[in-house]
Structure 1
Amino acid sequence: MAILVLGILLFLGLHLIRVVAPGFRAGVIERRGKGTWMGIYAILSLIGLCLIIYGFGQARSETGMLYDPPVFMRHIALLLMLFAFIFLAAGFLPAGRIAVAVKHPQVLSIKVWALAHLLANGETSSVLLFGSFLAWAVILRISLKRRERAGERVLPVFKSASNDVLAIIIGLVAYVLFVWKLHEWLIGVAPVVMG
């Protein structure tokens, strides 16, 4: 469990630097250059992500259950994940109506992903992992609202409704692939048990 906690602290801590220490990032970029900052940030984020993946796999076999979700929660989680994939796709495309309506589609995608997994998983390691990501996304959204109120431009600007169609198609294809095989292949757990 210690490796999982270390990975979460490293990964999410890096992704909260702009929220908790906005001058630190700017100072490093000013002194060392944006390329150096991005390189260090990417390497440490990758290390944190690897620690999370390894630590989560290890912690799942070591930790017990905090709660036993009813079976219907898995169905709700599956439905929520469809929206999470669509929001994620919308966040990587030029803004359509979806991105403009939800304001921060990638952050919303993480919140929906984390909530869906908390509904379907009651193991201590799962609650720690998904609860941490949900808390991080909520903190980040609050920070983005404050930056908006301060006059910083952080909201997406509408480009084309065709990007909504593309986001839905990409999200749906990714969702089907994950439910069909990728989740089991990458995570070791099938989201839908066939047969």
Structure 2
Amino acid sequence: MLLLILGLAVFICVHSVRIVVPNWRETHREKNGMMQWNTRFALLTLLSLAFVIMGYMQMRLQPVWLWYPPIVVQHISALVMLVALFALGSAIVPKTTLKSKTGYPLLIAVKLWAFAHLMSNGTLADVILFGSLLVWSVVSFAVYRRRDRRNGVVREEGGVQYNLMAFVFAMVSWFAIVFFLHKAVIGVSPLV
């Protein structure tokens, strides 16, 4: 459990710099260069993800069940994941409607991903992992949106083709994850 909590703490701290100290990243980039910032950020992110994965896998060996979700919840989670993947696609593809309206579709994707996995898994490890990422993404989204409104940020919206590209990304990745990748990487099929 310690590895999981340590990994999550490092991950959340690294990804919360802009929330706590908004201009620190830009100041550091100007002083030391973008390459140094990106290298440190990537290394800390990879290290924290390694801790999260190792800690989560250790806790899965002896799960502490808090609840047993019914089968119908897994089907609902699969649909929520489709929406999460559309939000992820909207973050990747430029000028989507979701990006122009909300500004942070990647945080929406994390929120939906964490929520879907939290409701369809009932162990202590799941609550620690997905619950903490859900809380972090909700807080991050609220802070960024409030800051954007205060600063009068306006984003450009493109045409329907950008939304269509995000939708195609969501459908292709959802089918790949559901029918192949989730079982191959995680060891659990979302269809069961």
Q: Aligning the two structures, in what range does the TM-score lie when normalised by the shorter sequence?
A: over 0.9
* Residue type at the aligned position of 2:2: A
Deviations 1:143-168 (A, max 9, x none): 11221122163x64212210111111
Q: How many Å apart are 1:23 and its aligned residue?
A: 4.3
Q: How many Å apart are 1:101 and its aligned residue?
A: 3.9
SS of residue paired to 1:150: helix
Q: Aligned residue pairs: how many?
A: 192
**2:22 match:** 22
* Residue type at the aligned position of 2:73: M
Deviations 1:98-146 (A, max 9, x none): 3334442111111111110111001000111000110111111111122
Q: How many Å apart are 1:33 and its aligned residue?
A: 2.0
Q: How many Å apart are 1:176 and its aligned residue?
A: 0.3
After superposition, the Cα gap between the structure-2 partners of 1:156 and 1:63, relative to the gap in structure 1 and judged at 3 Å, is: farther
Most deviating of 31-40 and 71-80: 31-40
Tell me if structure 1 keeps the 8 A contact 2:95–2:156.
yes
Distance 1:127 1:152 in 2: 36
Distance 2:98 2:149 in 1: 21
**2:162 match:** 163
**2:67 match:** 67
Tell me if structure 2 keeps the 8 A contact 1:94–1:160.
no
**4+ long deviations beyond 4 Å:** none
- The unaligned stretches of length 5 or more in structure 1 are none
Distance 2:6 2:122 in 1: 21
Distance 2:78 2:18 in 1: 32
**1:128 match:** 128
* 1:39-188 equivalence runs, <5 A: 39-151=39-151, 153=153, 156-188=155-187
Tell me if structure 2 keeps the 8 A contact 1:104–1:156.
no
Tell me if structure 2 keeps the 8 A contact 1:179–1:190.
yes
Distance 1:170 1:26 in 2: 31
Distance 1:102 1:19 in 2: 17
- What is the percentage of aligned positions where both structures have the same residue? 32
After superposition, the Cα gap between the structure-2 partners of 1:54 and 1:152, relative to the gap in structure 1 and judged at 3 Å, is: farther
**Normalising by the residue count of structure 1, what TM-score does the alignment of the two structures yield?**
0.92
Tell me if structure 2 keeps the 8 A contact 1:96–1:160.
yes
Distance 1:67 1:105 in 2: 30
- The unaligned stretches of length 5 or more in structure 2 are none
**2:2 match:** 2
**Normalising by the residue count of structure 2, what TM-score does the alignment of the two structures yield?**
0.93
Distance 2:111 2:130 in 1: 9
RMSD: 1.6
